[in-house]
Amino acid sequence: MSNSFATIQSIAASTFRKTRDNSTTVEKDEEGRLVLAGDAFEEASYPKYLPTWDTSEHHEPLTLFDFVDPGTKADPALPNLLPVDGSQKVKRLTPKFGSEVRGVQLSSLSSAGRDELARLVAERGVVVFRDQDFADLSIDEALKFSSHFGRNHIHPTSGAPKGYPEVHLVYRSKNDSVYDSFFEDHISSIAWHSDVSYELQPPGVTFLAMLDGPETGGDTIFADATEAYNRLSPTFREFLSTLEVFHSGVAQAQSSRAQGGIVRRDPVENFHPLVREHPVTGKKSLYVNPQFSRYIKGMKREESDAILNFLYDFISKSSDIQVRASWEPKSVVVWDNRRTLHSALLDWESGERRHAFRLTPQAEVPTASFAKK
């Protein structure tokens, strides 16, 4: 198991630990669900998004569905998203990767505007939208919005609002002890990954909306897997394009059970091309991550580990293909899981709550070349 996977699971387990004042964070309600204990409901800015874990919940395996990326239908000039006469402000965070947008309200976008959003995110990798009312929508409205970009994914182990397993919640309780306990055994919280890459149809355009967070800290860093691919030599790129990688969700499910959590759906494993092509831009990206990628098909373990570890090391150390998204109030970060890796940062010890929700539409089956397909 990779250090990245162990890091994420250790931090995720904090929900089920006691806080610094030794109070319990989770208890069972009258229906047998695991819910947050104490004053969490009264103190949360958005209690409708507080996590629950239904131990009786079970879903059948996900089925294959037809997917057409809405970005392929978009006007490249983005007139509905970023009109020429609009008041929006767009700042490129780096020349090739990452943008910040102010003056565009995601919830008000037309269907054409959402298509253009998919195209913008495909082109820029990650886009930070400020001053959003996204969290004020009803959960049904939020899920309807995200369904424009694909089928909303149901995470197999994470907490979710009662009755809404399609919503993945990020929650660190007030005064929890995770910072103290985690850094007793680790020196870094960096854990690069691409969300649920083990699925047959992993996510594409992905949304994370911040509800409560520390005044400073808890940023998310992103790495550009497209530029990472381009940096490699043509010979190495050609070789990597012939390879498939085994992605597995088994360890994630086992970890959840071991911590007293839930497993909504039996874990899955799939082979995906190490290099995938994007349906909107036609660009190639590396598609590996240390949390869920296990080995390269047809290679001996030492050979596979040498290649994968080289790629992980290259991506993690290349600050010149990375961008850091900071979390202002009412921010929504939108990224494309097909061409990025990311990691949350555990860098604040002030005891402030961090609460966010993720909407994770699934996209196409990863493909090395759409022309060959």
Give the span between the Cα atoms of 320 and 312, in whole angstroms: 15
Residue 2 has pLDDT above 80, yes or no: no
Give the span between the Cα atoms of 67 and 205, in whole angstroms: 13
Give the span between the Cα atoms of 351 and 348, in whole angstroms: 8
Residues 274-300 pLDDT 10s: 999 999 999 999 999 999 999 999 999
Give the span between the Cα atoms of 337 and 326, in whole angstroms: 18
Residues 158-205 pLDDT 10s: 999 999 999 999 998 877 778 888 899 999 999 999 999 999 999 999
* Confidence class for position 7, pLDDT limits 50, 70, 90: low
Residues 219-258 pLDDT 10s: 999 999 999 999 999 999 999 999 999 999 999 999 999 9
The H-or-E segment that residue 303 falls in is helix 301-317
CA 15 to chain centre: 18
Residue 49 has pLDDT above 60, yes or no: yes
Give the span between the Cα atoms of 72 and 119, in whole angstroms: 7
Is the model more confident about 352 or about 158?
158
Is the model more confident about 20 or about 45?
45
Q: Which of 36, 67, 76 is nearest to 147 (CA)?
A: 67
CA 48 to chain centre: 21
Residue 344 has pLDDT above 80, yes or no: yes
Mean residue pLDDT across the chain? 92
Amino acid at 137: L
Alpha helices in 195-293 (DSSP H): 225-231, 234-240, 250-258
Percentage of the residues of the chain whose pLDDT score is greater than 90: 80
Percentage of the residues of the chain whose pLDDT score is greater than 70: 92
Give the span between the Cα atoms of 123 and 336, in whole angstroms: 9
* Confidence class for position 20, pLDDT limits 50, 70, 90: very low
